[in-house]
A = this chain, B = another copy of it.
């Protein structure tokens, strides 16, 4: 469909019901209507959709040819302009999944970054961080950003919402502040605060990536090359020139071994070097949740406990956040080599990070969501005495989702024990919170069947499909 200079790929649905559209009218779904931005009664031109020319390159890729930069750019440009159907996107992703050269990956990253809005900042140093997902809790960004911004470095952080996990950083931040923010407002917030913690879905940074992800996720396609291109294109479009990547490695994490982590690190470094982004990669412990809470409200409470320096704030979340913040602070020429950690702790302990977080929350605007915890709770207890030997992160994520997270912000899990802790039979391992009784019953039964916690020789972490 064409309206003025705008075109859109649409699927035709036919109705004989005059109350929906008149016989000479076309009705548009609301998102499509918004995308055109033309008033009711506008004349549109409709032609049969022609397959985009760049599909020839997709077919060439499927039969094994390595694509040129301009071919990849054409594919990404067509995808970003909604000219590919889901099945055509799937064809590109699967065709690329079996083999992608580093040159192709680089072209993919560049094309994706160039396909949407690109931010520029009048600062020599703009930093960013990214944690590979899959670890429950792990809300370090919400502590690292205020520390780094309090120091005076710029960190324009956008985050995703959960798709298969019980909470993304955007879902958790949303308990505290508005996150559904557009590009102009983002610019203002970062200028005012040195940083932000917003959802990436409205800012149109690397829009092709958002579209690719919408097909990758349901298909469960997850290649290293596509992951690196996705992350790096977003950071490039956001105008960052220093990036810290946190790769948690563990038996139920996205990255399973140090060997895998190393290969991923090399890819990040290669692409960073080519794009002029200084990339530093840290491989962290991905065997168990970071922090105690899993689910938006519980995670937000952990974050605020750390920023408030509360004595019972989760130590692992605090320590990991300080370590990551330390690396970023050392991008500042003013900080002596090795002095990042002390500075990060200073900013956390003297309340500067908390003030900065309050400032960011105030500037983004207050949340209109309830931060109440789910009222239905049950404790999952140890079945025997022993030492906690393993935690199945996939299982915990799944249980927290069954409990209602992230849709029910107050649903989730609080973990009481970590690997290496002694437990006694009958002692609580974690507490489940749910808002709805149907979900509560479901998750209670599921946790009873498989708690995800292994004590003294219990079955190892299961390889459950997520």
Contacts and interface: CB of A to CB of B under 8 A. Distances in A.
Interface of A: 13, 17, 19-20, 29, 51, 55-56, 59, 62-64, 85-91, 93-95, 97-98, 215, 218-221, 465
A87 B219 contact: yes
A93 B87 CA distance: 10
A91 B221 contact: yes
Q: How many copies does the complex hold?
A: 2
A88 B219 contact: yes
20 contacts: A17-B20, A19-B19, A19-B20, A51-B220, A55-B220, A56-B465, A59-B219, A59-B221, A62-B94, A62-B98, A63-B98, A85-B218, A86-B87, A87-B89, A87-B215, A87-B219, A91-B219, A91-B221, A95-B97, A98-B98
Contact of A88 (B13, B90, B98): B90
A219 B90 CA distance: 10
Contacts of A51: 218, 220
Contacts of A55: 219-220
A-B pairs, top 6 by smallest CB distance, nearest first, are: A87-B90, A90-B90, A19-B19, A94-B94, A86-B87, A87-B87
A63 B220 contact: no
Given A19-B20, A20-B17, A87-B87, A63 B97 contact: yes
Q: What does DSSP make chain A's interface, helix, strand, loop or mixed?
A: helix
Contacts of A87: 86-87, 89-90, 215, 218-219
Given A13-B13, A87-B89, 5 more contacts: A62-B94, A86-B86, A86-B90, A87-B90, A98-B98
Nearest to A17: B20
A55 B217 CA distance: 13
Contacts of A89: 87
A458 B94 CA distance: 40
Nearest to A27: B17
Contacts of A62: 94, 97-98, 221
Nearest to A11: B11
A192 to B, nearest CB: 37
A111 to B, nearest CB: 20
A59 B220 contact: yes
Contacts of A13: 13, 29
Nearest to A88: B219
A225 to B, nearest CB: 13
A215 B64 CA distance: 20
Contacts of A218: 51, 85, 87-88
Contacts of A20: 17, 19-20
Contacts of A220: 51, 55, 59
A84 to B, nearest CB: 11
A83 to B, nearest CB: 13
Nearest to A214: B87
Contacts of A215: 87
Which among A13, A51, A59 has the greatest number of chain B C-beta atoms within 10 A? A59
Nearest to A50: B465
A233 to B, nearest CB: 22
Nearest to A96: B94
A220 B95 CA distance: 13
A459 to B, nearest CB: 20
A445 B210 CA distance: 42
A273 B219 CA distance: 36
A91 B63 CA distance: 14
Nearest to A16: B30
A177 to B, nearest CB: 28
A23 B379 CA distance: 38
A166 to B, nearest CB: 16
B219 A98 contact: no
Contacts of A219: 55, 59, 87-88, 91
Nearest to A58: B219
A206 B29 CA distance: 35
A21 to B, nearest CB: 10
Contacts of A90: 86-88, 90-91, 94
Nearest to A95: B94
Nearest to A86: B87
A115 to B, nearest CB: 20
A377 to B, nearest CB: 25
A89 B89 CA distance: 12
Contacts of A29: 13
